[in-house]
Structure 1
Amino acid sequence: MADIEGFPPIVSGEAQVLILGSMPSEVSLLKQQYYGHPGNAFWPIMGALFGAFPNLSYERRRAVLLENKVAVWDVLQSCQRHGSLDSNIAWASIRTNDFVSFFAEYKFIRRVFFNGGMAEKVYKKHILPGLDQRFAYLEYQRLPSTSPAHASLNLAQKIEAWKVIRQPVVK
């Protein structure tokens, strides 16, 4: 099993909200795009909330997120995994991204949203204990996964749950 490397973040110095996934799927890795699987609800949700519709070019979708002060990244920098399911990640292989440096650089980020349970679980276990008091202002919330594997909610229900990311950031 070879190491899978994630992507650099979609982020600007104006970002106020960070959406964290776990690791890109095989399809996303092939396309070199966050949430590249056509069955993933991420871009339809971002379309409904911000106008970053799936039919736009990837570069335009990224730009719309940045215009709306939304950043996207993954908790994992690399891991070993068969297929695309988070449940297939080899725990002993995970390497997390450097969030101390990230939050120090992107000082306007106040709210962190987890795209599903695995991102939250890994973050709380491997990242949160290493964040010092400088980052105590961060607020966290898990949202329903946009993955096609998470089918307990339909698209309208996911959009409704994700609307919280549009709430103004209190400084």
Structure 2
Amino acid sequence: MRKRCFAPVVNADTRLLILGSLPGEKSLAHSQYYAHPQNRFWMLLGEVLQIELASLPYDARLAALLAHGVGLWDVVAQAHRIGSLDSNIRARDDNDLPALLARYPAIATIAFNGGTALKLGMKVLGEEAKRYRIVALPSSSPAYTLGYADKLAQWQALADGIQ
């Protein structure tokens, strides 16, 4: 069975685009970005934005991101994958990142949530990447065992992309 990403969460005011690799099993089951309860995405980004995101209903989280100029999407459009680990992604089709960026010219910063997203995303962007500020983030996933404080210190680099 092929797993598919969600639609991008972006609008004309998006200045920072955060790209993951491909939603995990919990996210796919709930049809929500970063739905696994141990994934720290909403906590990390909430601290960067200085708002409480994790306790908000999902639609309110997305609205808050857009209100702060932050968008979400994934590098991989669809792929075969057993479980949620990026290392199990096979036979992937990538999203057309350059086309999305062309439609939303206010985007100036692209952040990659994790090493796989960065590696694949930079290949998809190619020379186009030079037009953007690129931020490599440690994965918010519980599978990436860097401590929360260390993750947060690196995620704080996003603050420059939303001011």
Query: What TM-score comes out, normalization by structure 1 length?
Result: 0.89
| Structure 2 residue 66 is the aligned partner of structure 1 residue 66 | yes
| Structure 2 residue 25 is the aligned partner of structure 1 residue 26 | yes
- Give, as a single letter, the amino acid of the residue that structure 2 aligns with 1:141: V
Could you tell me how far 1:124 is from its partner in structure 2? Answer: 2.2
Partner of 2:125: 128
Q: CA RMSD in A?
A: 1.6
Partner of 2:135: 141
Matches within 5 A, 1:1-171: 2-50=1-49, 51-90=51-90, 93-125=91-123, 127-129=124-126, 136-151=130-145, 153-168=146-161
- Give, as a single letter, the amino acid of the residue that structure 1 aligns with 2:125: L
Q: Please give the per-residue CA displacement for 1:92-142, whole angstroms capped at 9, x wherever unaligned.
A: x110111121011100101111101000111123x123x55xx64212121
- Give, as a single letter, the amino acid of the residue that structure 2 aligns with 1:18: L
Could you tell me how far 1:52 is from its partner in structure 2? Answer: 4.4
Change (3 A) 1:168 1:97: closer
Match of 2:131, SS state, is coil
Unpaired runs of 5+ in structure 2?
none
Contact persistence 2:68–2:162 (CA under 8 A): no
Match of 1:38, SS state, is coil
In the aligned structure 1, how far is the partner of 2:86 from the partner of 2:141?
Answer: 10
- Give, as a single letter, the amino acid of the residue that structure 2 aligns with 1:117: G
Change (3 A) 1:100 1:128: closer
In the aligned structure 2, how far is the partner of 1:42 from the partner of 1:169?
Answer: 16
In the aligned structure 1, how far is the partner of 2:11 from the partner of 2:137?
Answer: 22
* Stretches (4+) displaced over 2 A: none
Query: What TM-score comes out, normalization by structure 2 length?
Result: 0.93
Change (3 A) 1:21 1:168: closer
- Give, as a single letter, the amino acid of the residue that structure 2 aligns with 1:143: L
* Equivalent pairs, count: 162
